[in-house]
Amino acid sequence: MLEVAIKKELPDFVLDIEFCVPNDILVLFGPSGCGKTTTLRCIAGLDKPDEGYIRYNERFFFRGKEPLFIPPFGRNIGYVFQEYALFPHMTIRNNILYGAQREKEEYQSLFDELLELLKIHHLVERNIDKLSGGEKQRVALARALMTRPQILLLDEPLSALEEKTRVELQNELKKMQQLLNIPFVLVTHNWEEAQFMGDQIIFIERGRQVHRPDYLK
């Protein structure tokens, strides 16, 4: 169970959010600039909240009262960025294996499983600049999952993709979550995607949780 209850002062408002995620998919839904990505960055340890706590099961990643702050490398959290954040000078193989303990046989098995699951086994020796947007997103997902994360964060991972590819990856993400049985936190401002992907949906406006907006009713 991932538990988040944090406040963080931003230039235009205070992010003040609280939620729990069991082993399913939580969607953070709202307009651009409402605090969704900052929430992910706080969970990952890339940003530090001003107060509150972030806990996974019995382990605190952040607790403002002590204070306690575990840096990103100590959290074992996968993060798929909107812009993919792949290394252009590396092959697909090396991008996926980046950060994994390559000498362990179990990682080779996981590598093979991810290539099959994400349908990219035929691409492993290509360079990043030879890939389509959907292929880059699959590589980014594989790289995030190679470290066997206990939580996966996804920041509008499908927003730049054409409709057919987006639908395919939505289905693949749901299958992966069921296989891994870990919390996924996904950011989107696409309502259809939020409804399809989310086991639970949190609506955010200017850093605060709100009821379902009228324009979605």
Name the 3-class secondary structure at 189. coil
Q: Which CATH superfamily is domain 1-76+152-217 in?
A: P-loop containing nucleotide triphosphate hydrolases (3.40.50.300)
Domain with CATH 3.40.50.300 in the chain: 1-76+152-217
Residues 27, 196: contact at Cβ < 8 Å?
no
pLDDT score, position 29 = 93
pLDDT score, position 110 = 81
Tokens for 64?
A: 């403002």
Per the confidence metrics, is the pTM higher than 0.75?
A: yes
Type and span of the H or E element at 165? helix 163-180
pLDDT tens-digit map of 152-174: 999 987 776 778 878 888 888 89
| DSSP per-residue string spanning 66-121 | TTEE--GGGT-EEEE-TT----TTSBHHHHHHTTS-TT-HHHHHHHHHHHHHTT-G
Residues in the chain with pLDDT values less than 70: 84, 99, 101-106, 160, 214-215, 217
Distance set, CA 176 to CA 41, 57, 101, 151, 194 (Å): 22, 21, 21, 12, 17
pLDDT tens-digit map of 90-115: 888 888 887 676 556 667 788 888 88
CA dist 168 and 172 (Å) reads 6
CA dist 95 and 143 (Å) reads 7
C-beta contacts of 128-132 below 8 A and 24+ residues apart: 128/86, 128/87, 128/88, 128/90, 128/92, 128/95, 129/88, 131/92, 132/165
Name the 3-class secondary structure at 4. strand
